[in-house]
Chains A and B, each alone.
Chain A
Amino acid sequence: ETGVTQTPRHLVMGMTNKKSLKCEQHLGHNAMYWYKQSAKKPLELMFVYNFKEQTENNSVPSRFSPECPNSSHLFLHLHTLQPEDSALYLCASSQDVQRGGSPLHFGNGTRLTVT
């Protein structure tokens, strides 16, 4: 496999459930990102990790908890979500955060529905 792989592709969960989104990149990159894409809104950056260290938390509610065990894997742990958290969650990676011209490579996303 190459590129950025996200699982699951679709997830339906109740507000009291706990679930996790997984992202894996096979590009040898050192930076990984979580973005939220809601209908009719610009993409929102949630978290940035560089060499496994979190470098940005964009005021994300604590019901979203990221984990980056190594440079190839990124998780987003979800608990007690709200219906307005329903969205497409996109993972991305790049060479590292310091190279401004280095593009982000995106996965296909996890479509999350909170009921």
Chain B
Amino acid sequence: GNSVTQMEGPVTLSEEAFLTINCTYTATGYPSLFWYVQYPGEGLQLLLKATKADDKGSNKGFEATYRKETTSFHLEKGSVQVSDSAVYFCALRPSNQGGKLIFGQGTELSVKP
């Protein structure tokens, strides 16, 4: 079946540190991959996406590359800020199951000044 596995949190970093949040997936066919972010008290916001192998999604300094050979979509940022503190969700949308977005369990990031 289709599934998403994220590294467990919480992740605590100092400001300006390098961030990696690991995400691996299991899927048939060619899914689209997404990272969503949820700030406290809010819904999920799309952070970035990639729709085919080797695509790189990027937004607000965050990047993730669709790696089909390792079935991974790791989220990275070179220098985190306190305002990046949030919960990050990796998700996939199967190519043959219209509409269904399958989420990982989320990784909480806390950035300290």
Tell me if chain B binds chain A.
yes
Number of chain A interface residues as a range = 20 to 34
Cβ contact within 8 Å between B100 and A48:
yes
A interface footprint on B32-48 (CB within 8 Å = 1, 0 otherwise): 10101000011111100
- How many residues on the B side are at the interface (Cβ–Cβ under 8 A)? 26
- For the complex, is B98 an interface residue (Cβ under 8 Å from A)? yes
Cβ contact within 8 Å between B43 and A42:
no
| Neighbour of A100 across the interface among B41, B93, B103, B104, CB < 8 A | B93
- For the complex, is B101 an interface residue (Cβ under 8 Å from A)? yes
Cβ contact within 8 Å between A48 and B99:
yes
Known interface pairs A42-B105, A106-B43, A106-B44; A55-B49 also in contact (CB < 8 Å)? no
Report which B residues bind A (CB closer than 8 A). Answer: 4, 31-32, 34, 36, 41-46, 49, 51, 89, 93-95, 98-106
Report which A residues bind B (CB closer than 8 A). Answer: 4, 6, 31, 33, 40-43, 45, 48, 50, 55-56, 90, 92, 94, 96-98, 100-101, 103-109
